[in-house]
Amino acid sequence: MIRFILRKLAILVPTFIGVTLIAFVFIRMIPGDPVLLMAGERGMSEERHAEMMALYGFDRPIIEQYFVYIKKVVQGDLGVSIITKRPVLEEFLALFPATIELSMVAIMLAVFIGLPVGMIAAVKRGSTFDHAAMAGALAGYSMPIFWWGLLCIIFFSGILGWTPVSGRINLLYYIEPVTGFMLIDSLLSGVDGAFASALSHLILPSIVLGTIPMAVIARQTRSAMLEVLGEDYVRTAKAKGLGPGRVIGLHTLRNALIPVVTIIGLQVGVLFAGAILTETIFAWPGIGKWIVDSINRRDYPSLQGGLLLIATVIMTVNLLVDVLYGLINPQIRHTR
């Protein structure tokens, strides 16, 4: 198992280098001068502009800038935001819990709904439930997040008034951050109504963010279950007189879980990509909104550091998924 993990870690090294290169180069292809944007409407003289360019190293050749950046990254220094003057890592850690909270609730909804829906659809193949579930999954997968989010806001917040429009908690409450997770902090605060307010603010954005993963998990679970249900050992188990519960739970689900776990792991990247739009639509103060703001302000250090840290999280989750493969099916350790 240790050798299996070490092989996976070795693959992450060139991936990490590739991410730093892409983040560094493509960010600088965005039109706009970060120094002029920082000056705003006041503008600045040519001498001051040249001084600021030299201060931030933007006047150096791009190759030299990249190697200076890599050297700092290896030392754990992701730079300082051009706009806020705060360390990038500090800003990321302050905002990351909000994105994690939103993503965790979204993926939990996706798994707890998508997995049983896919299983039932496979067992009842060709039934009305199967057709309705797959049609719903196709619709959920096809809907753009920004359109689906705005539609939910109009209907649930505007027309029905069931959920708040934006934010993490009602402005009437001030919750001292302890863990960074609003649900936990609101409980720890002991303030009446704070937890209910935090939960109500979380419901709609988590549903919007979890819709696509839910659809993907449901479709993949159905496909994997149908493939396993056609195997000889499943037919043998049925022939021995085992009940449907044991056949599905013991012989079918465990083998069908491997591709499903793959999909769930891949959805982490989808969640972070979707969080950029979801957090912007719902004014959710997390990493996604921070990335969008950094793009608009041409805040190179924040954007580079944010993308690098997000990529690191995704790579870590993928590594954990690979390790989980080995636990579900030990043969994979020797074949991958």
Backbone angles phi, psi at 165, to 5 degrees: -85, -40
DSSP string for residues in 270-330? HHHHHHHHHHHHTT--SHHHHHHHHHHHT-HHHHHHHHHHHHHHHHHHHHHHHHHHHHH-T
Give the tens place of pLDDT for each residue, 214-259: 999 999 888 888 887 766 666 666 666 666 666 666 657 677 777 7
Q: What is the pLDDT of residue 125?
A: 86
Domains of the chain, earliest start first:
32-77 (no CATH), 95-298 (1.10.3720.10)
Question: Measured on CA atoms in the order 82, 86, 89, 94, is the torsion positive or negative?
Answer: negative
Give the C-alpha distances (Å, rounded to integers) separating 304 from 79, 97, 183, 321: 9, 19, 30, 26
Tokens of 336: 């991958």
pTM for the predicted model, two decimal places? 0.79
Backbone angles phi, psi at 30, to 5 degrees: -70, 125
Cα separation, 55 vs 44, in Å, equals 15
Give the tens place of pLDDT for each residue, 10-36: 777 787 788 888 878 777 777 766 777
Q: What is the pLDDT of residue 131?
A: 92
Q: Which residues in the chain land under pLDDT 50?
A: 334
Count helices and strands (H / E) in the chain. 15, 0
Tokens of 153: 């806001």
